[in-house]
Amino acid sequence: MSKLTIVAFDGTRNDLDVANGTTVMENAVRNSVPGIEAECGGACACATCHVYVDDAWSAVVGPPEAMEEDMLDFAYDVRPTSRLSCQIKMSDALDGLVVHVPERQA
Ligand code: FES
């Protein structure tokens, strides 16, 4: 298990205990965190699971791979810390991860 905090656009913190191997998107949907639509179900094909990785975690999470980066072109208000949450898999290394939900999805 790891800790994952998803901060909704209105500032509400969703502090979750999540299983390693699950994605940030899966945990957001499972816990009804507002603002994560995930229309493609995690196939890296919709860009509606866009999040901003907290600055403190950006280097640990790392940059998107090429396919994810291409999809991010379709996301709204992309920033240097933008990632698609279906492509971030929880692990011991990400225990305590904080991500922020954007104002809206694409
Ligand atoms: S759920 Fe569609 S790209 Fe992440």
Is residue 69, in this structure, part of any structural domain at all?
yes
Q: Which atom of ligand 1 is nearest to the CA of 50?
A: 4
**What's the token pair of residue 3?**
């800790």
Is residue 105, in this structure, part of any structural domain at all?
no
Instruction: Give the phi and the psi of residue 23 in degrees, each rounded to 5.
Output: -95, 160
Give the number of domains in the chain. Answer: 1
- Ligand 1 atom 3, closest CA: 44
Distance CA 10, CA 67 (A): 30
**Which are the contacts of 92, defined by CB distance < 8 A and separation ≥ 6?**
2, 20
Is residue 65, in this structure, part of any structural domain at all?
yes
CATH number at residue 42: 3.10.20.30
pLDDT at 93 over 90: yes
Cα of 69 from ligand 1 centre, angstroms: 12
Give me the domain span that covers residue 78: 2-100
Is residue 75, in this structure, part of any structural domain at all?
yes
Is residue 29, in this structure, part of any structural domain at all?
yes
Mind listing the pLDDT tens digit for each residue in 1-57?
Answer: 999 999 999 999 999 999 999 999 999 999 999 999 999 999 999 999 999 999 999
